[in-house]
Structure 1
Amino acid sequence: MMHLEEITAAVELGRADDRETARTQLTALWEACDDRQTRCAIAHYLADVQDETEDELSWDLRALEDVEDDGWLPSLHLNLADDYRRLSQTRLAEEHLSAARAHLSGLPDGAYGDLVRSGVEHVAEAIAAGSVRRLETNPSS
């Protein structure tokens, strides 16, 4: 059984800028897990501790493959939109941004919902500006 404490501890390592250890621990947890929704969450966090956009995209796609809870869709599609934007794949970025917007109504009020909604606007502005730089609001920053 996967322990939430182990996942949380690894995520906190990433937030404390020990990205390599966080990647190692989260990868081991992901490989040991057979629950799709937990794998989705771990992949979502693994994307945030990658150094290269291509690797981030790979983990974001894995998260989307395992999603079972529609509440994750706005954030997952937002991350994919941003990945594709940074890789200069504007059409795919716009498709995922549109998908993120389509699921915004399911977000709760409060900090998490506000974070995702503002992220959609930041990515939309960056796409419109033709920017491929990592946004300061990106969790991988």
Structure 2
Amino acid sequence: MRQQPLTADVTLARINEGVQLHHHQGQPAAARDLFTRIWDEIGGEQGDPLHVCVLAHSMADVQDDVEQELVWDQRALTAADQLTDARLAQAGVPMSVAGLYPSLHLSLAECHRKLGDLDRAREYLQHAQSGIGALGDDQYGQLIKSGLDRLTQQLTSR
């Protein structure tokens, strides 16, 4: 569901390779293996918050277990809280930190929906919706907005 922008940061470029393995080549196990190697290289949760955030957000997508997906998405959110716009710009990421939150919150909402915790799902969905103003009208912004619309429909039909 997520596609990372091209950046000048080597670690982000490697994470993007894993995203491509998963989303475009249908190889989630290979992506998970690559993400695991990168996770170890960056020092896990103690690594650069940008790398931790993007890697954890991507690692969540390749989990077979929703509980593990939730753990990874929570790690991504925690790391995002440590980011600055200056760090994103330094890495060549063409968005603000605020632009990351709708996707992070959407992912957490989706995990909680899958786990049957609809109240928490709605809570995260509300956080995601409140941050959509930070998204551009580009492909990434449209992807997140369509995901929010889809999840809103799923949660209101219950």
List structure 1 segments (4+ residues) > 6 angstroms apart after TM superposition.
Answer: none
Question: Which secondary structure does the structure 2 equivalent of 1:99 belong to?
Answer: helix
The answer to whether residue 130 in structure 2 is matched with residue 117 in structure 1 is no
Equivalent residue number for residue 133 of structure 2:
105
Structure 1: 5+ residue stretches without partners: 131-141
- Residues 24-75 of structure 1: per-residue CA shift (max 9 Å, x gap): 1102212322210111001111111111211111111110010022221000
Equivalent residue number for residue 138 of structure 1:
none
Give the partner amino acid of 2:132. L
CA–CA separation in structure 2 for the residues paired with 1:61 and 1:4: 19
Q: Percent identity?
A: 35
- Residues 91-116 of structure 1: per-residue CA shift (max 9 Å, x gap): 10010000001100010111111111
CA-based RMSD of the aligned residues comes to 1.4
CA–CA separation in structure 2 for the residues paired with 1:5 and 1:121: 29
TM-score (normalizing by structure 1): 0.86
TM-score (normalizing by structure 2): 0.77
Equivalent residue number for residue 65 of structure 2:
52
Structure 2: 5+ residue stretches without partners: 1-8, 84-96
Equivalent residue number for residue 122 of structure 2:
94
CA–CA separation in structure 2 for the residues paired with 1:102 and 1:53: 25
